[in-house]
Each structure stands twice: as C-alpha cells, then as structure tokens.
Amino acid sequence: MNGAEALLRTAVAAGVDLCLANPGTTEMQLVAALDTVPGLRSVLGLFEGVCTGAADGYARMTRRPALTLLHLGPGFANGIANLHNARRARSPIVNLVGDHASWHLAADAPLTSDIESLARPVSVWVRTSASAKDLARDGAEAIRAALSPPGGVATLIVPQDCAWDPAEGPVRVAPPDAPEPISDAAIEQAAAALRSGENTALFLGGEALGERSLRAAARIVAATGCRALIETLVARLERGGDLPAFERLPYFPEQAREALAPCRHVLLAGTREPVAFFGYRGDSSRLCPDSARIHTLADPGHDVAGALEALVERVGAAAQRNAAPRPARPVRPTGPLDPARLGQALAALQPENAIVVDEAATTGLAYAAFAAGAPRHTVLGLTGGAIGQGLPSALGAALACPDRKVIAFQADGSGMYTVQSLWSMARESVDVVTVVCSNRAYRILQAELARAGIAEPGRNARSLTDLSHPELDWVSLARGLGVPGTRADTADGFCDAFARALAEPGPALIEAVL
C-alpha cells in the first residue's frame, strides 16, 4: 500500500465519503487511490473555487469534512476565497494539496511556491507531510483538527513522493475535542441580566441558529421579554414552518446600531460581539452601544444549544412556548418583476425542507422578510464576504442532501466568480434550481460609492460598478455548461418557470431580469 492509499483509507474509515477534486500531475497517485479505496465519491470541479465552496456547503449540511484535492500552490490559491468563507463559517474541511516530490523542491520548477504561506490565512491546521509513512497519521490529525469544535479548515500538503512511497496502512482518527463545557457562571450572569429588567438582547449566531437553540431562545424571549437577534451573515440558519423568526441584525452599521441601541445587556450565543462589516470614515468598528454590557453565554466552541437550554431552565422558561404569531405564507406575486416580488415568489413557492443558498446580495433583503412565512427550510449565507460562494455551496449542499431541493438564490455579479459550478451540477445531476438576480450591476458598490461621499461618480467609477455592457446572458451561460435555463421578466413568468423547475429533478437555472 502506498501513502496515497493509506491516507484515503484513513479518511474513509473516519466517515469521509466525498472528494471534491481538480487534480494535476502531482496528485495522480491520490487520483488512482480514489479507485482502489472504495467509499469515496469524487466530483470534478472545473475551477478550484468550485471544489472548496462545495466542501463548505457540504460541511454546513453534514458537519463532516469532505476532502478537496488541489494542485500545488496555484490550485490551492484558486480555492482560497471560498476557504475564507468556510473559515468564517467554521466549516470542517480537509484540503489535500499535492506538491512536488520533496527531492524536486530544490529545483524550483515552474509550479513551485510557498504553499504553507498561502494556506495559513484560511486554515486552523497546516502541515506538509515528511514521508509516506507519516501521511496517513497526518491525514488523521487533519480530520481531527477539522472536526474539533468549533470546526475549521485543515490543509495537508502532500509531496508526491509521500503519495507513491510505501506506507504501513491506515491510521485511526482520534475523536475530536469535546465542546467546551457549559459555564455555570456564564449561565448565571446571563440569567441575572435577563432578571434585571434592563433591556437585554440574545445575539445568536453559529450553532445557535439550529433548531434546538432557536426553540430555546424563543422560550427565553417569551418568559423574560428580552429580544433575540440573529447575526447578519449566517453560516446555517434553520427557518420557516413553526420555528421562531427572529430579527436579523442589519448589514449597514447605522441600521445595526439602531437595532442594538436600546440594549443594556447583549448575551452572545455561538458567535462573537457584532462588528461593522467595513470601517467607514469617522466611524468605529463597534455596533453595540458603549453603555451595554456584553456577556458571553457560549462561545462558538461551546455546547451552544446546551447553554441556551440551561438558560431556559435557569430563568424558568421550560414551559413557555413561542408566543410570536406565526407569519403567513406569502401569496404568489403578479406584475412586474422586482426584488420584492422575486423574494415573495421564492417564499411563496419554495417546497418543504428546501435548502436556500443566499448570495443574492442587495436583491435578497426582501426574500429574507418573506421567508419567515415559508415552510421549514435551511438558509446558507455568505459568511466571509468573499463573493462566489453561492453556486459552489449549493452544489455541495445538494451532494450532502440528495433528498432535499436546493435553491441557489444568486446575485449576478457574485455568480460570475464561480460560474463553472453549473457544469458540476449538470454532471452530478444534483437538484439545484439557480435563480440569478440579473440587475446587471454591482449594486452594493453603487450604494457604497454614495456612502463614501461620491455623489456623482465619474465615468470610471460608473464603469467599474456596471455590468450592462455587454449584458450577461445567463441562459446561454447555463446552456454552455449543460444546465437548462430560462429567462423571466415578470412576476408571473418567474413563478411559472420556478414552479416548473422545482417540479423537475436535476439542475435548472432561471435568469430573473430585474
């Protein structure tokens, strides 16, 4: 058995079942081992950002790591942007990055580069294997690191001689670290804030956006009258049906501060204190009022749901139910197509148990409001702000959950970053309906120009935020990549096309012209 086979056997024995690959020459032994080691599905991406984004989507749905298989420094580099999102989502991922044979590195061949320097900014764990005999053990440690709370990206660099030299066999993966235990002092501090009568908000993020946590938070809200707020950029949020629909913290700092202004206490569950997405001139990073006290109920590495449930007990809320009225499901819209009607249409028609990958940027705001009344669903968001996450994540979520419909709600500018994802969707016949919000602009940047005081953008500034010359034709792009597509420019037309696409198995794309 060579190193490559020992490594993959180690991964399969630990429950890893998916490899998202764009390999090259230095990964040929690992490619061959994908056939000699049973148990791994391999999926080809035509660009590495597809592989890493899909691994992120898969991890968010399963909490298990997929492997990526990437080709030296440049191949890894193409995957960094979506690994950055994965890092912010705390998604478990194990990157296998082929490198030159160790004896070949000194020759500084054309593809040689410092892969570790590229990997560190997005990885909780980085190692270059020293020999074939170490490779399986290194892989086991990578898997363990990826799974240890709160989860993260582990990058194992595999010099090619480590893959082809003889190895001793697979290695058992040690259990990941347990979550940090619930802190009784933290529970008591939070309970005291809730009992104080002062304005208090539960700030929920990360694992606190799962069903158990949300139901616990609803009991606390009902019992104490506090508010619950959800972080702006969600890794994975359970929503709709009979789940409580809490307010999302707005994106722009003025609005976020307004939402937080009444707070005297902010109780953090599963996430950190919120900060401004960008720093603006004359502004500050903080969003919570200086007078508010920030209490950490549960860090991302803690048993977050357990902490919220302990707090339910502590404030005597166990018998409470979600008191908020359940929002009505929106009706199918008619008339011209605009962001509001598009969001309404999605929420009106999305099937039970859908996964909605939301990279709709400015167009998505209306949907978020409407979808509180939709059937139960899961939302995956753009955690790290590195655009091009939506289509790959949708692919990965669909690979993780073949029994659920995935809706990729996708801004056009962002979608172009990893448009190659559509080809992998077609190849793997995954159930993803992509809805492209075709407004032919980097609309958020047009807003940001105004915020920067550039009231009358000049020719260059207009040009760098405008996508209308030439117009992107998403139906042709989809056809080029093997996905059936259609275009809609009225609410009715969109609803018809969306309902048809949802009724069919396999991928489809609708260009919603706004």
Residue 82 tokens read as 């979506």
Beta bridge partners of 280: none
Rounded to a whole number of angstroms, the minimum distance from the CB of residue 69 to a copy of itself is 8
- Segment interacting with a copy of itself (CB under 8 A) among 210-218, 241-249, 268-276, 326-334: 268-276
From residue 437, give the alpha-carbon distance in Å to each of 67, 338, 412, 488, 495.
31, 9, 6, 10, 14
From the list 181-189, 291-299, 316-324, 420-428, the region that binds a copy of itself by CB under 8 A is 420-428
- Provide the minimum distance between the beta carbon of 114 and a copy of itself in the complex, in angstroms, as a whole number: 4
Q: Does 107 bind a copy of itself (CB under 8 A)?
A: yes
Query: Which position has the token pair 């490619």?
Result: 31
Whole-angstrom Cα distance, residue 370 to residue 360? 14
Out of 63, 88, 212, 264, the residue judged to bind a copy of itself by CB under 8 A: 88
Q: Write out the binding residues for a copy of itself, residues 389-418 only, by CB under 8 A.
A: 413, 416-417
Instruction: Classify burial at 271, counting beta carbons within 10 Å of its beta carbon; exposed 0-12, middle 13-18, buried 19 or more.
Output: buried
Q: Which is nearer to a copy of itself, 199 or 232 (CB)?
A: 232
316 CB neighbour count, 10 Å cutoff: 12
**Does position 108 bind a copy of itself by CB under 8 A?**
yes
Place of tokens 């990958």: 357
| Residue 188 token pair | 């008591």
CB 162 within 8 A of CB 168: no
* 8 Å CB contact between 369 and 387: no
Rank residues 208 and 311 by Cβ distance to a copy of itself and give the closer one.
Answer: 208
Interface of this chain with a copy of itself, residues 436 to 465, rule: CB under 8 A = 444-445, 448-449, 451-452, 454, 457-461, 463-465
Site map (CB under 8 A) of a copy of itself, residues 45-84, x = contact? -xx-x-----------------------xxx-xx-xx--x
| Residue among 39, 242, 278, 500 that touches a copy of itself (CB under 8 A) | 278
Q: Which of 336, 482, 503, 504 binds a copy of itself (CB under 8 A)?
A: 482
Instruction: Please state the closest distance from residue 12 (CB atom) to a copy of itself, in A.
Output: 13
Q: Which of 340, 346, 472 is nearest to 417 (CA)?
A: 472
Q: Which of residues 138-167 bind a copy of itself (CB under 8 A)?
A: 160-161, 164
> Would you count residue 255 as binding a copy of itself (CB under 8 A)?
no
- Looking at 177, 242, 258, 471, which residue binds a copy of itself (CB under 8 A)? 471
CA distances from 128 to 4, 73, 109, 117 (A): 14, 13, 18, 12
CB of 256 to a copy of itself, least distance (A): 12
Rounded Cα distance, 71 and 96, in Å: 9
Number of residues that bind a copy of itself (CB under 8 A): 103
Residue 125 beta carbon to a copy of itself: minimum distance, rounded to whole angstroms:
15
CB-nearer residue toward a copy of itself: 222 or 461:
461
Q: Is 467 in the site for a copy of itself (CB under 8 A)?
A: yes
Q: At its nearest, how many Å lie between a copy of itself and the CB of residue 442?
A: 8
Q: By C-beta, is 223 or 444 nearer to a copy of itself?
A: 444
- Hey, which residues does 93 pair with through a beta bridge? 66, 153
| Contact pick of 114, 185, 290, 319 for a copy of itself (by CB under 8 A) | 114
Q: Which is nearer to a copy of itself, 92 or 388 (CB)?
A: 388
Burial class (CB in 10 A: 0-12, 13-18, 19+), 14: buried
Residues between 289 and 308 with contacts to a copy of itself, criterion CB under 8 A? none
Region near a copy of itself per CB under 8 A, out of 114-122, 146-154, 215-223, 354-362: 114-122
From 215-223, 316-324, 384-392, 497-505, span contacting a copy of itself (CB under 8 A): 384-392
Which residues, 182 to 221, sit near a copy of itself by CB under 8 A?
A: none
Binding to a copy of itself (CB under 8 A): which residues in 17-36?
A: 21, 23-26, 28-29, 31-32, 34-36
Work out the burial of residue 455: count CB atoms within 10 Å of its CB; fewer than 13 is exposed, 13-18 middle, 19 or more buried. Answer: exposed
- Give the span between the Cα atoms of 21 and 211, in whole angstroms: 32
Cα–chain-centroid distance for residue 109?
A: 36
Q: Return the beta strands (E) in 292-431 as ranges.
A: 293-298, 354-359, 377-380, 406-411
Q: Radius of gyration (Cα) for the chain, nearest Å?
A: 24
CB of 34 or CB of 345, closer to a copy of itself: 34
Minimum distance, C-beta of residue 223 to a copy of itself, in the bound complex (Å)? 33
Strand locations in 331-376 (E): 354-359
Name which of 187 and 209 has its Cβ closer to a copy of itself: 209
345: closest CA among 326, 361, 363?
363
Rounded CA-CA distance 32/48 in Å is: 19
CA distances from 245 to 221, 258, 317, 368 (A): 12, 19, 18, 10
